[in-house]
Amino acid sequence: MVARVLLIGGYGNFGGYIARALAPDRDVRLLIAGRSRSRAEAFVRALDAAHALEAHALDIDGDLDEAFTRARPDIVVHTVGPFQRQDHRVARAAIAAGAHYLDLADARRFVCTIGELDEAARARGVLVVGGASSVPCLTAAVVDHHLPGFARLDALDYGISAAQQTNRGLATTSAVLSYVGKPIAVLRDGISRTVHGWQDLHAVRYPELGWRLFGDCDIPDLDLFPARYPTLRRIRFAAGHELKLLHLGTWGLSWLVRLGAIRSLDRHAGRLLGLAFLFDRFGSGRSGFHMVLSGEGPDGRPKRVRFFIVARSGHGPYIPCMPAILLARKLARGDLDRRGAMPCLDLLDLDEYLGALAGLDITVHREPAHA
């Protein structure tokens, strides 16, 4: 049986990566959906696929019950952000239609409350997954892989550095800008403390990439991980621009928000994104992910593990898209029997995740050492 996979935002930034990965799959019939039917039709015409493709007009703020009745999906993949401004109406409509649901949400509350749909999802026999992306799927997979090597895990310090020359959309930009300068609750010294988005300016030296700048960001892990890894006393997630000038510019704007001179930067996302594009010729297509795990080793000595992913040739966006791709394939083939609603945890392990990136211009670097 071929599964009908409805890809909402299928001609968009992340949706396009997922579509190109799933289209050749013989177990998948891809349905490309978005607010513009003409754009969906144009994207479909340019895509090589194992089965006939369909284009659908669909607005996530519109009548989803009618749209899903028309599309008849077996699996819904929701890529349309920013999720910071959304509730779970798309997931609820998918459940009502008897379809599995995956999203690429990075919004803290959105992902952490997806379990509220668990009873409804189980009643319909479907899987509902929030955050099928880098956070919390990849980040938890990295921790789980290295956790057996620690007698006690004390701290996680990690982040994502974007490539300047990469496809980046308005929704992603708006999502990031929504918390720049805003207060964020984090675990520091074993208690909840407040930091501010894009502040706590710091640098990390990457293999191949050199020094990249970072600032604090808000993600689901900040709520999920202290409960998942109860010995943690500190967790920091940060993000940054490849170009230091742009990063420092955003850092400066964060102070205007924090001090109340600007209410929020996300309302200026279009202009700031346009400005960022002007600097593309000064950047590259190289992005990175890093995680530093610190604690105590089995021998009682302090232990630290440094894990890096370096993506070149603009292949970085495949990393956050990979969980949705892998889970859609598993569901289409009947290889995943989990049901209910949950954040994207314990569904993919690190070896499976990294194995799916093989063939892309992506390299993994590991630096285990005693502190």
Give one DSSP letter per residue of 314-351, joined into a string. T-TTHHHHHHHHHHHHHHHHT-----EEEES-SSS-HH
What is the rounded CA–CA span in Å between residue 58 and residue 66? 10
CB 234 within 8 A of CB 154: yes
**Assigned token pair, 183:** 């207060």
- Which domains, and CATH codes, for the chain? 3-132+317-354 (3.40.50.720), 135-316+355-370 (3.30.360.10)
Output the pLDDT for position 280.
87
Q: List Cα–Cα distances, 100 to 13, 141, 212, 350, 362, in angstroms.
A: 22, 22, 38, 23, 30
Helices (H), the chain: 13-22, 37-45, 64-71, 89-96, 108-112, 118-124, 139-146, 170-177, 221-228, 244-258, 269-277, 318-333, 350-356
Q: How many residues belong to the chain?
A: 371
What is the reported pTM?
0.94
Amino acid at site 319: I
Q: Which residues contact 336 (CB under 8 A, 6 or more apart)?
A: 127, 327, 330, 347
pLDDT score of 368 = 65
Q: Judge contact between 180 and 188, C-beta under 8 A.
A: no
The tokens for 134 are 């880098």
Separation between Cα atoms, residue 35 and residue 30, nearest integer Å = 17
How far, rounded to the nearest angstrom, does the alpha carbon of residue 56 sit from its chain's CA centroid?
A: 25
Q: Compute the distance between CA of residue 339 and CA of residue 129 in angstroms, rounded to an integer.
A: 10
Contact indicator for 75, 102 with CB cutoff of 8 Å: yes
Give the SS3 label for residue 98.
coil
The low-confidence residues of the chain, meaning pLDDT below 50, are 370-371
Is residue 83 within 8 Å of 103, Cβ to Cβ? yes
Task: Give one word for 252, left, alpha or beta, with left for phi > 0 and alpha for psi -120 to 50.
Answer: alpha
Question: Within 10 Å of residue 109's Cβ, how many Cβ atoms?
Answer: 14
Q: Tell me what pLDDT residue 371 has.
A: 43
